[in-house]
């Protein structure tokens, strides 16, 4: 070993970022001029509690580097110190949490994408107790014991499960992983919009700008989005080239001004095109306020845009690849292109003495620009045997030493930062430590084909450069610029202009970079990382292949390479190359990995948008909601509806209120809001035939002015819905459905009407919300109503199951003599706007009759005492009408579901049938859903005979009752069975499902 | 920016039937139900919106008498159902209305794609609506009575922050 | 989100306005009682579910309300045609 690590510059680094004599030290690595930052104002920010200064236009990463800070995090598995690698969205290491107080903590943000603002507070992640002293780093000592597949091999298996859940998993979870989610609700607002355009251009680099200009000049509705704060991409760090005779940055400014002046063009900075979806839909995440020190409360934090574009133009650029060598993950080792960008965009030198290792010409641009800025470029180590292109020649001419055929053999960390690098030459065994504070690397560029692939475009392998390029695209999608293989500015601009049929800008003064293949040392071992974020080393990839994981998708899953939040943007091609080398096959034979949205993480808040809290789902209230509130109702959610569940009086709990409501209704009268019932008006000469084909019951024979209960079956023969068919006229029916079934039943009816029987002359109109329904039930129901009704509602004039249009309290109403309580019952349908007036008219009469208002809970008890089913409670999609003891209407022909009722399984004797259950203890109310067995102490594995579907305390019987579905139940009446619960078995007797007034006399009075 | 106003109660009739039903209804109602898809015809305070190939929503002031229309249609196979109280109408006015609607409506609301005089059922966030563009910056939004509060809150929220 | 051409509205409409309604061109036997159990089970439950082009039904529930037939490639999601019920598969 020649030479040794040296320690100069240590004092300076120790002082950086610390308070010194009461004031902040200025940045140490900022250039005197150049770049696009605003130097006049200092922006104060903190990282891990230490205060620093930065400039306007900085990212957190550029500001930290300006302060000489490279160490920003610990790696997930081995807790190795890690630094900033990249300058953009591909950053694998520099994940930070930004804290804004009051629940505004966002973990796992890439420091390269966090814009600096006054007072920014950021923290490193995955370290304890601190970034500098991280006890988790001891894990690294056990690295040989934590190979790929460690978790699968060690933690799995039935015997280990208990230990895994209790001991290992919590430990692993604490030691590994990234940021922590905040524990309080996110107070920010998020918005969501649809947008439409002729051309969506994703990426505002040279190609994207040229494409947007061409589209906009042609009059197309155009959206140009870019994930960065400032549009321009590579143009922002282009200082040499001229475009159409003016400096590139000048051309950029002019182009953006022209785009801004076009009313049909929208330029969206801070907006990531994160996903491409079928039929040209693109998801955009726009960051609205994250860069502001004091955002307006009116503005959403982020907006999600779902853009439908006739044409999608992808100008997403390319991502620089790291080299895989031992110690390539030390803070201070970073991508060469990123170092150049930090210099030219942000005026930040990433080091004072740098060594550059490359397998690609573009790194020489970094060498030249850094040297010009006064950085000591000590050596360019070119891994290729020869480095003779125009750029290497330019570097040599500028006095930069170039070592072709070199190798990087190791790096050395001193404190928080790289301090030397071990270089070798060819295979001659000579090696030497070079002192440096930054090692810049480049292994070629990977076109960012993510969106192209998400849109289901094909990929093609370009072996000479070792890249996948867009192949056959999805219709309406095209790729331009670096993501389409363009290697220089002229080519990018030309592709962009061509996409919109525009004039091609002329480029001068650009030294071309010759394309060449990526370099992968198949034998590289030790701490040579392929995936920085998930701590995957070259050794792990070889081991996965050796263990038989050959397809790249399997290698990824086994090693976790590419599965981090960065999705392996920098590492995947190296992973692929190493796996291919280990297998001895060409890269294309391993296949590519699947590109899935999102391109970069999108917060849940953004995806949820406004759909949270009250706006998560519509809250539907009935026209009588205010009346129920005034009565002191307690509401329950029934789907989206708020329904009055019970009306407690002073001192009453729910049970007491429900008992009173039930008993009062049975004794006198009850008023119930049934407005949520689905209602469909079925009109046309064939209405009766149509309904006859859709219901179990005989509808065709129903006379005008009469109602009939109807059960709707699915074609498979199972009960789907039920309701009342009221025949208003020979060609007009008012059909009710269950509350939750309204939309589904209408769709089911429309399906048969439109597609099976288009010859039937019948139409369906939903009247659910037009009619409010006030149910008046109980022996005194008629007494309550009669004085208000203009007409005769006596039992003779309006018998049970009759319907008639009448005026009630001066309001035109559709009155039905129907009952869901077993008592004399009226359901008054009134247009919704009149419902409150009708309620107000009925309410005092109910009170005068000694009656009550009642809610859904009492409604349930009333119907259960009568054995009336509720679809969805007594039925679950596997219950036939026969199971419920219901017969097919007399004289009926075919109807939907009939044939299925004759299938063998539908006729089996041991089908579960509706029965009543009476528990031995009359005070005990069974649990709904409880299982029923024959033995009081059933051995494990005993098959249940049935289950409880409804269970209440019945005021009428003065005891508990239950409905149940029981195998061969009707034959078991009188049998004693058991409901086994954890606290012991409950004895029950099987009874008929109708507990009250089985002859139905109370209905007809 | 835009404003949301509630339309006064209206008479709403759902008319179903063949084109000759539309023709005869037009004579009696005062507005011919359009046969062209997704169009609305308007005359004074009355309008007829195409909702489907045999389906029209007729809008009239709340004191309108529907019996004349019903009488005119006698003898023709059709369906006419009063749905006046099933929906409410929100009236949106202003240049920002289209943007607010686009928070929940996936249709292209650019005047080239959704010109004045176009009407259709569509969605707004989690609910279904009937959307009728009466002018460049005037929208009529039919929304189920129980979902009107959601629609109002949704649109107000969508209009914030611009 | 798919963009589905509606033959009744005569324009492309977003998937959010539609409900999927299963495979198209399943004909309900004219006399179900005459179908044997196997044939009936086939009608009820067995679907082709192809990898490739499928004829499927959608209902434009938040639009014209009509059921329509659509030819869609299940691999690429490309829609090859849409047509009215009762019309022959193109």
- Angstroms from B38 CA to nearest CA on chain C: 6
* Domains contained in chain A, number: 5
Domain assignment present for B26: yes
How many C-beta atoms lie closer than 10 Å to residue A728's C-beta? Answer: 19
pLDDT at A162: 61
- Angstroms from C64 CA to nearest CA on chain B: 4
State what percent of residues in chain A have pLDDT above 70. Answer: 93
Domain assignment present for A828: no
Q: Which of A277, A755, A899 sits opposite C33 (nearest CB)?
A: A899
Question: How would residue A465 be classed by pLDDT, with cut points 50, 70 and 90?
Answer: confident
Contacts of A683 (CB under 8 A, 6+ apart): A731, A732, A733, A762, A763, A764, A765, B16, B79, B80, B81
pLDDT at A164: 59
Under DSSP, the state recorded for A901 is G
Domain assignment present for A882: no
**Which chain C residues are within 8 Å of B38, Cβ to Cβ?**
9-11
Q: Which of A80, A115, A145 is the last residue of a domain?
A: A145
Q: How far is the C-alpha of A578 from the C-alpha of A539, rounded, in Å?
A: 9
CB A761 within 8 A of CB A731: no
Mean pLDDT across C18-42: 95
Domain assignment present for B105: yes
Q: Which of A555, A570, A590 is the last residue of a domain?
A: A590
- Yes or no, beta carbons of A903 and C37 under 8 Å apart: yes
Least confident of A328-337, A457-466, A898-907, B114-123: A457-466
- Angstroms from C19 CA to nearest CA on chain A: 10
Domain that holds residue B24: 8-82
- Yes or no, beta carbons of C67 and A898 under 8 Å apart: no
Same domain, B99 and B132: yes
Mutation target to probe the B interface, by most B beta carbons within 10 A, among C9, C67, C84 is C9
Contacts of A805 (CB under 8 A, 6+ apart): A728, A812, A813, A814, A815
Q: How far is the C-alpha of C85 from the C-alpha of A555, rounded, in Å?
A: 48
**Which chain A residues are within 8 Å of B158, Cβ to Cβ?**
191, 193, 610
What is the tens place of the pLDDT at every residue in A150-196? 656 655 545 555 665 666 666 655 555 577 788 888 999 999 999 99
- CATH number for the domain spanning A562: value is 1.10.10
Residue in this structure with the two tokens 């089985």, named with its chain if needed: A998
Q: Phi and psi at residue A711, in whole multiples of 5°? A: -115, 125
First to last CA, chain B: 8
Question: How would residue A27 be classed by pLDDT, with cut points 50, 70 and 90?
Answer: confident
Tokens standing for A644? 């009055």
Q: Count, in order, helices (H) and strands (E) of chain A.
A: 26, 53
- Between strands A438-442 and A353-358, the pairing is parallel
Same domain, A313 and A330: no
Domain assignment present for A684: no
Q: How far is the C-alpha of A702 from the C-alpha of A721, rounded, in Å?
A: 19
What is the tens place of the pLDDT at every residue in A220-261? 999 999 999 999 999 999 999 999 999 999 999 999 999 999
Same domain, B109 and B137: yes
- Yes or no, beta carbons of A306 and C1 under 8 Å apart: yes
Nearest CA in chain B to A830: B85
Give ipTM to 2 decimals: 0.98
pLDDT at A142: 63
Same domain, A380 and A397: yes
Q: How far is the C-alpha of A211 from the C-alpha of A479, rounded, in Å?
A: 11
Nearest CA in chain C to A454: C76
Question: How would residue A13 be classed by pLDDT, with cut points 50, 70 and 90?
Answer: very low
What is the tens place of the pLDDT at every residue in A640-696? 999 999 999 999 999 999 999 999 999 999 999 999 999 999 999 999 999 999 999
Same domain, A29 and A62: yes
Mean pLDDT across A442-461: 96
**Which chain B residues are within 8 Å of A301, Cβ to Cβ?**
none
pLDDT at A591: 81
C66 interfaces chain A, CB cutoff of 8 Å = yes
* Domains contained in chain B, number: 2
Domain assignment present for A150: no
Same domain, A231 and A276: yes
Nearest CA in chain A to B18: A761
- Between strands A707-713 and A719-729, the pairing is antiparallel
Same domain, B39 and B104: no
- Yes or no, beta carbons of A279 and C1 under 8 Å apart: yes
Tokens standing for A553? 């998708």
Q: Which helix (H) or strand (E) holds A680?
A: strand A678-683
- Yes or no, beta carbons of B83 and A621 under 8 Å apart: no
- Angstroms from A640 CA to nearest CA on chain B: 10
- Yes or no, beta carbons of B77 and A684 under 8 Å apart: yes
Q: Phi and psi at residue A655, in whole multiples of 5°? A: -60, -40
Task: Give all chains having 3 or more CB-to-CB distances under 8 Å with chain C.
Answer: A, B
**Which chain A residues are within 8 Å of B86, Cβ to Cβ?**
766-770, 832
Least confident of A259-268, A388-397, A463-472: A463-472
Q: How far is the C-alpha of A935 from the C-alpha of A915, rounded, in Å?
A: 19
- CATH number for the domain spanning A273: value is 3.50.50.60
Domain assignment present for B1: no
Same domain, A270 and A396: no
**Which chain A residues are within 8 Å of B145, Cβ to Cβ?**
623, 769, 832
pTM above 0.90, yes or no: yes
Q: Which of B52, B106, B128 sits opposite C8 (nearest CB)?
A: B52
Q: What does the mean pLDDT of chain A come to?
A: 92
Same domain, A433 and A301: no
Same domain, A372 and A390: yes
pLDDT at A6: 40
Summarize chain B as % helix, strand, coil (round to 5). 25, 40, 35
Q: How far is the C-alpha of A730 from the C-alpha of A703, rounded, in Å?
A: 8
Same domain, B90 and B46: no
Domain assignment present for A198: yes
Same domain, A201 and A305: yes
A750 interfaces chain C, CB cutoff of 8 Å = yes
Domain that holds residue A467: 193-318+448-508
Mean pLDDT across B53-80: 95
Q: Which of A425, A443, A461 is the last residue of a domain?
A: A443
What is the tens place of the pLDDT at every residue in A342-376? 999 999 999 999 999 999 999 999 999 999 999 99
Nearest CA in chain C to B38: C9
Confidence check: pLDDT of A929 > 80: yes
Confidence check: pLDDT of B65 > 90: no
Q: Which of A277, A474, A899 sits opposite C35 (nearest CB)?
A: A899
Mean pLDDT across A865-891: 97
Q: Pick from A861, A801, A852: which is nearest to A667 by CA? A: A852
Task: Give all chains having 3 or more CB-to-CB distances under 8 Å with chain B.
Answer: A, C
A–B CB contacts, 8 A cutoff, strictly below? 113
Question: How would residue B35 be classed by pLDDT, with cut points 50, 70 and 90?
Answer: very high
CB A929 within 8 A of CB A985: no
User: Which CATH number, 1.20.81.30, 3.40.190.10, 3.30.2270.10, 3.40.720.10, labels domain C3-27+40-83?
Assistant: 3.30.2270.10
Q: Which of B55, B82, B109 is the last residue of a domain?
A: B82
**Which chain B residues are within 8 Å of A762, Cβ to Cβ?**
79
Q: How far is the C-alpha of A347 from the C-alpha of A374, rounded, in Å?
A: 12
């Amino acid at each position: 070993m020649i030479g040794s690590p040296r320690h100069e510059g240590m004092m300076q680094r120790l002082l950086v970022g610390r308070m010194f004599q009461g004031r902040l030290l200025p940045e140490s690595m900022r250039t005197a001029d150049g770049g696009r930052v605003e130097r006049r104002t200092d922006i104060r920010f903190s990282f891990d509690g230490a205060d620093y200064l930065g400039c306007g236009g900085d990212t957190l990463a550029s500001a930290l580097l300006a302060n000489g800070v490279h160490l920003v995090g610990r790696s997930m598995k081995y807790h190795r110190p890690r630094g900033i690698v990249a300058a953009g969205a591909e950053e694998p290491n520099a994940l930070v949490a930004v804290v804004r107080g009051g629940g505004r903590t966002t973990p796992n943000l890439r420091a390269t994408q966090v814009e600096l603002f006054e007072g920014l507070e950021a923290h490193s992640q995955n370290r304890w107790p601190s970034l500098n002293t991280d006890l988790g780093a001891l894990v690294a000592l056990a690295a040989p014991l934590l190979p790929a597949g460690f978790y699968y091999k060690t933690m799995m298996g039935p015997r280990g499960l208990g230990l895994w859940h209790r001991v290992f998993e919590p430990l692993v979870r604490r030691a590994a992983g990234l940021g922590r989610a905040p524990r309080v609700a996110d107070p920010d607002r998020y918005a969501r919009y649809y947008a439409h355009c002729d051309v969506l251009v994703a990426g505002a680099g040279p190609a994207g700008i040229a494409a947007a200009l061409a589209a906009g000049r042609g009059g197309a509705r155009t959206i140009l989005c870019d994930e960065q704060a400032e549009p321009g991409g590579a143009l922002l760090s282009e200082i040499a080239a001229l475009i159409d005779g003016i400096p590139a940055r000048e051309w950029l400014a002019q182009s953006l001004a022209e785009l801004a002046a076009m009313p049909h063009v929208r330029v969206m900075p801070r907006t990531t095109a994160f996903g491409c979806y079928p039929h040209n839909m693109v998801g955009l995440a726009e960051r609205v306020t994250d860069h502001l020190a004091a955002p307006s409360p009116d503005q959403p934090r982020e907006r999600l845009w779902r853009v439908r574009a006739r044409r999608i133009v992808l100008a997403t650029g390319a991502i620089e690849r790291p080299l895989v060598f031992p110690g390539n993950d030390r803070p201070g080792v970073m991508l060469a292109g990123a170092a150049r960008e930090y210099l030219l965009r942000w005026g930040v030198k990433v080091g004072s003495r740098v060594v550059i290792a490359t397998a690609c010409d573009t790194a020489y641009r970094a060498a030249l620009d850094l040297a010009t800025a006064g950085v000591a470029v000590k050596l360019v180590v070119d891994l290729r045997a020869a480095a003779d292109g125009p750029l290497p020649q330019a570097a040599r001419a500028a006095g930069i030493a170039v070592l072709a055929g070199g190798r990087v053999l190791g790096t050395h960390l001193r404190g928080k930062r790289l301090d030397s690098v071990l270089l070798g030459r060819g295979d001659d065994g000579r090696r030497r430590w070079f002192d440096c504070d930054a090692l810049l690397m480049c292994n070629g560029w990977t076109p960012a084909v993510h969106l192209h692939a998400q849109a289901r475009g094909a990929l093609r392998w370009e072996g000479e450069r070792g890249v996948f390029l867009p192949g056959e695209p999805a219709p309406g999608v095209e790729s331009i610029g670096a993501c389409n293989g363009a290697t220089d500015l002229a080519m990018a601009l030309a592709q962009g202009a061509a996409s919109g049929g525009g004039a091609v800008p002329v480029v001068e003064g650009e030294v071309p970079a010759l394309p060449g293949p990526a370099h992968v040392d198949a034998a590289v071992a030790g701490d040579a990382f392929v995936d920085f974020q998930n701590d995957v080393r070259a050794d792990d990839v070889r081991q996965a292949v050796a263990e038989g994981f050959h397809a790249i998708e399997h290698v990824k899953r086994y090693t976790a390479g590419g599965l981090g939040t960065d999705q392996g943007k920098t590492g995947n091609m190296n992973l692929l190359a190493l796996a291919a080398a280990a297998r001895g096959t060409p890269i294309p034979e391993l296949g590519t990995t699947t590109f899935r949205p999102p391109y970069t993480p999108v917060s849940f808040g953004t995806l949820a948008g406004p759909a949270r809290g009250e706006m998560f789902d519509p809250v539907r209230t009935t026209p009588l909601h205010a009346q129920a509130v005034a009565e002191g109702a307690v509401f329950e959610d029934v789907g989206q509806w708020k329904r009055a569940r019970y009306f407690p009086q002073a001192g009453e709990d729910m049970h007491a209120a429900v008992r009173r409501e039930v008993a009062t209704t049975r004794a006198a009268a009850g008023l119930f809001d049934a407005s949520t019932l689905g209602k469909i008006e079925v009109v046309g000469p064939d209405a009766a035939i149509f309904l006859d084909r859709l219901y179990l019951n005989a509808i065709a024979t129903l006379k005008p002015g009469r109602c009939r209960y109807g059960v709707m079956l699915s074609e498979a023969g199972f009960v789907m819905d039920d309701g009342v068919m009221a025949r208003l006229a020979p060609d007009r029916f008012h059909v009710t459905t269950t509350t939750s079934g309204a939309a589904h039943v209408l769709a089911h009816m429309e399906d048969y009407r439109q597609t099976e029987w288009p010859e039937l002359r019948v139409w369906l109109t939903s009247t659910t919300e037009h009619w409010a329904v006030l149910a008046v039930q109980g022996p005194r129901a008629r007494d309550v109503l009669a004085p208000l009704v203009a007409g005769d509602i006596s039992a003779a004039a309006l018998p049970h199951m009759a319907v008639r249009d009448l005026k009630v309290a001066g309001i035109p109403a559709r009155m039905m003599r129907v009952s869901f309580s077993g008592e004399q019952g009226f359901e008054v349908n009134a247009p919704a706007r009149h419902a409150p007036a009708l309620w107000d008219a009925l309410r005092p009469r109910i009170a005068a009759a000694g009656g009550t208002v009642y809610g859904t809970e009492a409604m349930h008890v009333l119907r259960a005492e009568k054995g009336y089913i509720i679809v969805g409670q007594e039925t679950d999609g596997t219950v036939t009408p026969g199971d419920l003891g219901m017969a097919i209407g007399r004289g009926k022909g075919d109807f939907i579901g009939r044939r299925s009722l004759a299938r063998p399984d539908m006729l089996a004797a041991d089908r579960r049938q509706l029965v009543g259950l009476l528990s031995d203890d009359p005070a005990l109310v069974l649990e709904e859903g409880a299982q029923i067995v024959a033995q009081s102490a059933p051995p494990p594995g005993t098959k249940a005979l049935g289950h409880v579907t409804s269970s209440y305390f019945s005021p009428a019987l003065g005891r508990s009752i239950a409905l149940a579905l029981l195998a061969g139940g009707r034959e078991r009446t009188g049998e004693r069975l058991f409901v086994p619960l954890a606290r012991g078995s409950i004895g029950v007797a099987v009874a008929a499902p109708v507990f009250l007034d089985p002859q139905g006399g109370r209905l007809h009075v | 920016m835009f404003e949301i106003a509630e339309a006064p109660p209206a008479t709403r009739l759902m008319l179903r039937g063949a084109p000759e039903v539309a023709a005869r209804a037009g004579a009696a109602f005062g507005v011919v139900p359009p046969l062209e898809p997704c169009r609305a015809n308007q005359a004074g305070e009355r309008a007829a919106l195409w909702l489907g190939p045999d389906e029209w929503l007729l809008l009239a002031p709340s004191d309108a008498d529907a019996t004349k229309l019903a009488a005119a249609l006698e003898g023709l196979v059709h369906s006419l159902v009063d749905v006046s109280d099933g929906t409410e109408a929100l009236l949106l006015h202003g240049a920002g209305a289209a943007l607010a609607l686009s928070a929940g409506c996936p249709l292209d609301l650019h005047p080239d794609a959704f010109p004045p005089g176009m009407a259709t059922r569509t969605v707004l966030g989690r609910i279904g609506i009937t959307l009728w563009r009466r002018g460049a910056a005037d929208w009529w939004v039919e929304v189920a009575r129980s979902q009107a509060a959601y629609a109002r809150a949704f649109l107000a929220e969508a209009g914030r922050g611009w | 989100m798919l963009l589905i051409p509606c033959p009744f509205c005569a324009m492309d409409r977003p998937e959010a306005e539609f409900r999927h309604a299963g495979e198209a061109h399943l004909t309900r036997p004219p006399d179900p009682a005459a179908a044997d159990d196997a044939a009936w089970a086939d009608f009820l439950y067995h679907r082709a579910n192809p990898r490739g082009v499928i004829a499927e039904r959608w209902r434009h529930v938040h639009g014209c309300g009509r059921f329509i037939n659509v030819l869609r490639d299940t691999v690429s999601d490309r829609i090859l045609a849409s047509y009215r019920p009762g019309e022959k598969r193109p």
